[in-house]
Chain A
Amino acid sequence: MKLRELTSLIFLNLNRRKGRVLLTAIGVVIGTAAIVVLVSLAQGLQKNANEQFGNIAELSRVNVSPNWERAMEAMESGPGGMPSGEMPQPDPITPAAIEAFAAIPGVSAVIPRASVMGGTVMKYGNLEAYAYIIGVGTDDFSILNYPMKSGVADLKKGELILGEEVLKQFYNPSMRPGQEPPPPPELQDQTINLEVTKWTVDENGNGIETKKVLRMKVVGIIQASRSEADYAVYMSLDQVLDLNAWVNGRRFDPNKDGFEMAMVIVEDRSMALDVANQINEMGFMAYTPQEFIEGVNSFYVVLQVIFGGVGGVALLVAAIGIANTMTMAILERTREIGLMKALGATNKDVLSMFLGEAAGIGFIGGVGGIFLSLLIGELINIFGNVYFSSQTTSMYGGGGGGISVDMPLWLIVFALLFSTMIGLVSGLYPALRAASLVPVRALKYE
């Protein structure tokens, strides 16, 4: 029998037992909806959680620092115990080490970084703010992939790029109590004073405070993205190293001292963990937020499996319902099966017909289940967001977060195929029974 004939016969048979087909399909509707809603709920929760993890750019980054922990252990277990009270020295991040990081497959760039060792305060008009300065060893700031709010992602000596939150840190030190705090200053393309302070001791043991003021131009503002950059002030690495030389009173030697830190940028965030492991093996301390995220994600995978399992139980019950309906149908239609065979239907024709009917019930249930879950998903999104946004805004000051359902297309397609499959599998035994009926006995059956 051709597929077209077969489908028309299947449709005919399903159509003449509408009530029972629909009742059986309801089981599948509930099962499918349970799976789709619960799995997409877990997906939505995971997506929300991932959004809280901040900037995607930082997920494809591995931060490397010298391994102080290992140096300490090496010293303690060393043969001579504590040698002459000297601080243990870990392997420095030298230019050679940076080249080695860059040679790891999947690494697109390695940028050394340093912080200023003295006190740093930014002054603009009558406003001032503490500056958390990060010196980055690249002119091309876009390598770091931060979204720019304004200005350029290009950093030269004498220039600054600020995180958006930094602007809100500016305050008026001479403000009287009760006075309205000033609005955050517009600093794009403005020149500000960066005041660096160092403390030294003179020959009499008195502390001396020395200040140095740099005129810096703000060339760019980084859009807030819940990342480290939100509160950071970026400067060129050379200028930071010059400042440190002034603070420490001696030149920095990268080969001996090593860089404070290196940012290893990987091509794809999925490679971050692997790269971090390789750098750790080289004797450095590498950290990537990916480690944490993978832990959280595996929790959500478990959640999805559990939720899917709960829905699966509902679908299993539905499958038994289909098997029952089909078995009943065969009892009722035994004579008809005999007739079909007498008229020339092969065993395969009868088998495909009954399998098709069972799969049809599964399919109808799957379609119903998808519509039901789309509806439930919408409701959860509407009510869930209203409820949770009222909860979270007061606590964190920002919207977002909360509960939401994320129903990907693959899940819908999968649910439809799966429910049809369930129908097919539950129809297998009844259909085989129908196909193997001896025609003459089926015809005599009352």
Chain B
Amino acid sequence: MAFISIRNLKKYYEMGTVTVKALDGVDLDLEHRSMAVVMGPSGSGKSTLLHLLGGLDRPTAGEIHVNGGELTHMDENDLAVFRRETVGFVFQAFNLIETLTAVENVGLPMRFMNIPKKLRHEKAMHYMEEVGIADRADHRPSELSGGQQQRVAIARALVNEPTMILADEPTGNLDSTSGWSIMEILAQLNQSGRTVLIVTHDPRIGQFTDHIIHILDGVIVPELTDQLLEQFSSQG
């Protein structure tokens, strides 16, 4: 079985009387140390796929195997441990805590692992160096640019040494130059042995990998043709 193996994944939301099918039967295999980009227009279900894969939400039906474990069978506690040990999240809005300094933000996940303060600081500094933001360690998020904040967030995603990085529109809030350098960092992380899955609607990001997954209306499609996109927008 592949490192990531998704079978017939469905996620339905009840919106009043209407059922929204965010994912409607997705099958996907991803090898260990691979890098994949999930592309699709907004509302296509690509973020939902990433959230389910990261154990942030539960599917309506289907199976998600990651590294031999089955997410849908895990209880809340196991899911928390899974998120803590296997996944590193990178968000569009960075989600840094304003009152903490950069290095404290990076060290936050280690607090849930009972890592002592000194080691926490050392590890946080190590990963901040890896993403080239170590010189801003004692600044608060409000004193950092968007690109710098995203680097801090990436360092935070790395501190627990996850095997899988899940990035949800990591460049969405950034100008193109910062966005490009963030993508370079993510590609670098993949080359150093981590499985990286990026959700985006930015077509330029496709340049960083051969493995592009197109998603539309909750299903994986071979290619996003203009015809398909037209069909999609006319529905919306």
Contacts and interface: CB of A to CB of B under 8 A. Distances in A.
Interface of A: 1-2, 5, 8-9, 12, 16, 335-336, 338-349, 438-441, 443
A342 B111 contact: no
A347 B83 contact: no
A343 B83 contact: yes
Interface string B70-108: 000000110011011100010100010101100000001
B45 interface: no
Given A438-B57, A440-B56, A1 B112 contact: yes
Nearest to A17: B99
A10 to B, nearest CB: 12
12 contacts: A12-B100, A335-B95, A339-B97, A341-B83, A342-B56, A343-B83, A343-B89, A343-B112, A343-B156, A344-B113, A345-B80, A439-B56
B160 interface: yes
Contacts of A342: 54, 56, 83, 89, 95
Nearest to B157: A343
A345 B108 CA distance: 10
Overall SS of chain A's interface: helix
Contacts of A12: 99-100
Contacts of A438: 56-57
Given A12-B100, A348-B77, 4 more contacts: A12-B99, A344-B85, A345-B112, A346-B76
B201 to A, nearest CB: 17
Contacts of B111: 1, 5, 8-9
B65 interface: no
A8 B120 CA distance: 14
B106 to A, nearest CB: 11
Given A5-B114, A440-B56, A443-B56, A343 B77 contact: no
Contacts of A16: 99
Contacts of A443: 56, 91, 95
B89 A440 contact: no
Q: Which of B77, B89, B111, B113 has the most CB of A within 10 A?
A: B111
Contacts of A5: 111-112, 114
B97 A336 contact: yes
A343 B76 CA distance: 14
A348 B54 CA distance: 19
A24 B85 CA distance: 38
Nearest to B77: A346
Nearest to A347: B76
Contacts of B57: 438-441
Interface of B: 51, 54, 56-57, 76-77, 80-81, 83-85, 89, 91, 95, 97, 99-100, 108-109, 111-114, 156, 160
B77 A347 contact: yes
A324 B66 CA distance: 41
Nearest to B117: A8
A339 B51 CA distance: 12
A341 B114 CA distance: 15
Nearest to A343: B109
Nearest to B55: A439
B77 A2 contact: no
Contacts of A335: 95
Given A1-B112, A12-B99, A346-B81, A440 B51 contact: yes
A336 B160 CA distance: 19
B150 to A, nearest CB: 15
B14 to A, nearest CB: 13
A349 B57 CA distance: 18
B137 to A, nearest CB: 18
Shortest 5 CB-CB distances between A and B: which pairs?
A: A344-B84, A346-B80, A440-B57, A343-B109, A440-B56
B80 A344 contact: yes
B60 to A, nearest CB: 14
Contacts of A340: 108, 112
B123 to A, nearest CB: 14
A85 B95 CA distance: 105
B55 to A, nearest CB: 8
Contact of B81 (A9, A336, A344, A441): A344
Contacts of B114: 1-2, 5
A439 B114 CA distance: 21
Contacts of B56: 338, 341-342, 438-440, 443
B209 to A, nearest CB: 24
Contacts of B91: 443
